[in-house]
Amino acid sequence: MIRCLDCNSTLTKEETACFTCGATVKLVSAQMVFGERFASFLKFAFLGSGVLTIASLFFDATPSFAKCLTTTVVLLFVRSSAEQMLERKKG
């Protein structure tokens, strides 16, 4: 049985939008949950890498600025392509 995430009313499998509140029914597959977790991991990795990049300008203890910057840029690309993939899956 599927329940609407917004108003908690019962929905049939065929319904793509909630009859009561009109919210779109999200069919959450295991693959999509994994994808979303991966995307949020990438987000944190990207933010951490960004912070490290800035920190590397001021501190010697961090990896070199070029290394940090490369990692940040790579993570940015991976993140945006992962998000695009997720968007496509959602349709």
Q: Does 23 bind Zn ion (CB under 5 A)?
A: yes
Q: Which of 3, 16, 17, 20 contacts Zn ion by CB under 5 A?
A: 20
Give me the DSSP letters along 36-88. HHHHHHHHHHHHHHHHHHHHHHH-SSSPPHHHHHHHHHHHHHHHHHHHHHHHH
Give the span between the Cα atoms of 89 and 54, in whole angstroms: 35
Candidates 21-29, 52-60, 61-69, 74-82 — which segment interacts with Zn ion by CB under 5 A?
A: 21-29
Q: Does 5 bind Zn ion (CB under 5 A)?
A: no
Q: Does 81 bind Zn ion (CB under 5 A)?
A: no
Give the span between the Cα atoms of 43 and 80, in whole angstroms: 10
Interaction mask 36-55, Zn ion, x per CB under 5 A: --------------------
Q: Whose Cβ is closer to Zn ion: residue 2's or residue 39's?
A: 2
Is residue 2 classed as helix, strand or coil in its secondary structure? strand
Candidates 20-28, 36-44, 49-57, 73-81 — which segment interacts with Zn ion by CB under 5 A?
A: 20-28
